A and B are shown apart, each in its own frame.
Chain A
Amino acid sequence: MSSTSLPPAAYAASLASFPLMTVHRLLALLRHHPPAEAYEVAMGRVAPRQGSLIERVLREATVRDAWALGSRLRPPDEMWQRCTHLGLEVTVIGDPDHPRLLALDPLPPPVLFTRGDRSLLGGRRAALVGTRNATAVGRTLALRLGEGLAASDVHVVSGLARGIDGHAHTGAIAGASSGSGRPIAVVASGLDVVYPREHRALWAAVAQTGLLLSEWPPGADPLPHRFPLRNRLIAALSEVVVVVESRERGGSLVTASLAAERGIQVMAVPGSATNRAALGVNGLLRDGSAPVLGVEDVLVALSLDHRRAESLFVDQRVRPQGGDLDCYRVCDERASTVGMVAERTGRPLLDVAMSLARLELGGWLAHSDGWFERTGSPLA
């Protein structure tokens, strides 16, 4: 096969899979060279830019050997074949379709592999993160928040880990049926390496309804150092980060501090002071994070609180007709009992009782201790 037919992203994907290839090194390569040229630089066939990081690391034999090995193990054509087979979309920093949200990050992802709908990144996004060792209360809450946010048209960003992350996404998938919010998952392995394995179905569901995202090429294992890097992408993709449950130290607190560094609002769900799984969130609250007691709090933080929106204030009550209307008029004038309404309208008690029950059910009258009063805005 001829190397000229390969897209530039294929070289970047191949480079990303090299051993000893860090985010910083790949970033340096791809910032200064187009992908195909960067590949040649890494192979030592083209001189790196003077005084760059790459020039320094290429002086080390171990790096040169590792990268040479990488080019043999995962050549660009093979890598590209794998990406297309998995249906991945690959963008490289500098590409016009590389998400600007991430390109402008202090540490942008040099390459991005995605599966699903990339346009979701244009919507409203909130991260729901938390401990893997969540309590039942925390899991339920994550589920409810995820569902509520998705139902309120907010995308739910998380890490697809065990515990809170997984439940947040499960909730978001459920909520996607009643709103335009979708799950967005950032993972710390290649998109064909499912971790944790019990989340296989959830991965597929997220890719189906939302967006799966990784800066690691197919085949990359979920190595420990990749998780904090994954967390920076979660923070960078979100407008607000909500920590549902977290121990005194944990990945979600890393996400929270990464978000804080980027000026992204961090919110936390309060928990019991004696609950270990809530120590981290309570610490965040003590340090000044805003508390989250429900979906509304997150929506307010996103300025998405539409409860007072003009468009919602449409009287949806069904206008009373006939005898019901007469009964309504009596109670509208002054609070009355069923007997009084019957006297005023001259209708039989049983009819009046049914009218009043319908008006109460319809939201026109309120019933308390035998009295019926007008409720809500008056009938025009």
Chain B
Amino acid sequence: MIAAIESATLLGVTGQPVTVEVHVGQGLPVFQIVGLPDEACRESRDRVRAAVLSSLLPWPNQRITVNLAPSGVRKGGAGLDLAIAIGVLVAAGHIEQAAVEQLVVVGELGLDGSLRPFPGVAPMIACRPDRIAVVPERCWHEATAVSMGQVRCASSLNVVVNALTGGRWPDPPPSTVLPDEVPPPDLADVRGQLAARFGLEVAAAGGHHVLMVGPPGSGKTMLAQRLVGLLPMLDPATALEATMVHSAAGVTLPSSGVVRLPPFRAPHHSSSMVAIVGGGSHSLRPGEISLAHGGALFLDELGEFAPSVLDAMRQPLEEGVIRVARSNVHATLPARFLLVGATNPCPCGGGAPGSCECDETSRMKYLRRLSGPFMDRFDLRVGVERTAVDDLITIGGGESTGQVRERVTAARAIALERSGVLNAALGPSTLDRWAPLSAAATARLRAELELDRLTGRGLHRIRRVARTIADLQGAGDLVEDEHVVLALQLRVRLRRSARLDAA
């Protein structure tokens, strides 16, 4: 007998349809899987046999051949377990082929026949919108969030077989099964740091990548964690993309099954290139930049990251997607995120003028690890300074995340209504149109340029940031002098060579 069960496998963050064909026929009792399975997939042989026997279902003592079609595509992971098990039972005549005609079946089996969650359920389901999905119970929310059609869930192989042989599908689980979404920490916890707080506000409002420069212990990480709270909730399309990525990467999804809060990712500086940008030999797993899609990617101790890793991020920073290609597979993964970098100004940590203990050579060597083109992506370079002890005690917490987010949301709306893009996306050619300067502001920038305190590139950065500051203040179409002044004062210059590297 032959059976054919529809299932799916994962490539990058998209599901690939796979048909599991099972043949049970004359011959010695052998169980074979063909069609480019990877190691985890080949091992499903033993899991499926054990699960079927544990579920007290009949195992055909015949020659069993499983083919995963199309045979040219590599199949990975344990997500095909359930489809293979059902296929064997159909081929053995225990289940009618007609009962599985409309289904797409995914799930990993335990030896006791239980159905386990596994990475990538959401994209796998999404690639077969025409069929009724059968997923493990703990993947139900994730599957329903992305599925156009019906979704059935089960906790074990027995439940599935029961449903397919005339029984009822069990009720979906209540939404409290999984831990609830934890909101990011609140800005009100930050004492002082007015400039840095405002820097985050500007970054969130304009979509500007931000580099925080400050000594150790000044609160760079604390601030970065609070940035995502200022970002608006993800729009449906981005939320779906983010959900796919998180699902494919096996990151725990929120109880609703959909990633709605902007994600915050903070990979360690020892992370490899593949871990950051994504890849791997077959499945092309999404990296941290894709996991940060719609949210923020925080790179602490920027200078400690391998230069090749940082430079690899330049293209996704530009395009909002990362194209990963290997010899036989390639995938396009979403990667539109707000980059938040943090670095010390020099090896000793710096501080107020005159307090640095480093010699010029070591200071430059420290900053030269960051390539110029990469540094150009940061519109905002905000100085973060240690709050003085008495200020820590006397100054109360500032505004809460909610208060700031209202302004951010309003400013983003202004920018989007005006130019259709966030201010960070304004190029040199469009700046004149969308961010015209008042006469005083023009004079101010001209003076800065003439004093060699500003470069041509720096000029565009300042203009973009000033545009966002004006939006946050609810100013008109014209960028005024005061906005430019604040933009100039917020930036920190990093001397990467003997000549001044103006921000």
* Chain A residues with a Cβ under 8 A of chain B: 334-335, 337-340, 342-343, 349-350, 353-354, 356-357, 367-371, 373
Contacts and interface: CB of A to CB of B under 8 A. Distances in A.
B489 A350 contact: no
Contacts of B486: 338, 349-350, 353
B352 interface: yes
Contact of A353 (B193, B197, B385, B485): B485
Contacts, number: 69
Given A339-B196, A349-B486, A369-B345, 16 more contacts: A335-B352, A337-B195, A338-B489, A339-B193, A339-B198, A343-B391, A350-B469, A350-B473, A350-B482, A350-B486, A357-B444, A368-B353, A369-B492, A370-B489, A371-B353, A373-B353
Contacts of B473: 350
Contacts of A349: 194-195, 198, 486
B192 A354 contact: no
13 contacts: A338-B195, A339-B385, A340-B195, A343-B192, A343-B194, A349-B194, A349-B486, A350-B469, A350-B486, A356-B489, A367-B489, A369-B345, A370-B489
A357 B485 contact: yes
Instruction: Report, nearest first, the 8 A-B pairs whose CB atoms are least far apart.
Output: A339-B195, A353-B486, A339-B194, A370-B383, A338-B489, A335-B352, A357-B485, A342-B194
A324 to B, nearest CB: 13
A342 B197 CA distance: 12
A16 to B, nearest CB: 58
Interface of B: 192-198, 345, 352-354, 383, 385, 391, 395, 444, 469, 473, 481-483, 485-486, 488-493
A369 B385 contact: no
A369 B353 contact: yes
B196 A354 contact: no
B261 to A, nearest CB: 28
Contacts of A342: 194-195
A357 B487 CA distance: 12
A340 B198 CA distance: 12
Contacts of B345: 369
A117 B303 CA distance: 72
B353 A340 contact: no
Contacts of A371: 352-353
A363 to B, nearest CB: 14
A367 B486 CA distance: 13
In the complex, which of the residues B198, B489, B492 has the most CB atoms of chain A within 10 Å of its own CB atom?
B489
Contacts of B383: 337, 339, 369-370
A265 B305 CA distance: 66
A342 B354 CA distance: 22
A235 B304 CA distance: 70
Nearest to A372: B489
A373 B353 CA distance: 8
Given A343-B391, A343-B395, A350-B473, A338 B490 contact: yes
Nearest to A368: B353
A334 B385 CA distance: 13
A335 B388 CA distance: 12
Given A349-B195, A370-B383, A334 B352 contact: yes
Nearest to A340: B385
Nearest to A356: B489
Contacts of B352: 334-335, 371
Contacts of B481: 354
Given A338-B195, A338-B486, A339-B193, A370 B391 contact: no
A370 B194 contact: no
Nearest to A373: B353
Contact of A357 (B353, B395, B489, B490): B489
A224 B483 CA distance: 70
Contacts of A370: 383, 489-493
A345 to B, nearest CB: 10
B353 A335 contact: yes
Contacts of B385: 337, 339-340
Contacts of A367: 489
B273 to A, nearest CB: 32
Nearest to A338: B489
Contacts of B194: 339-340, 342-343, 349
A342 B387 CA distance: 13
A370 B482 CA distance: 16
A362 B179 CA distance: 59
Nearest to B481: A354
Most B CB contacts (10 A, CB to CB) among A337, A350, A367, A373 go to A337
Interface-central residue, A356, A357, A367, by most chain B CB under 10 Å: A357
A146 to B, nearest CB: 28
B353 to A, nearest CB: 5
Contacts of B195: 337-340, 342, 349
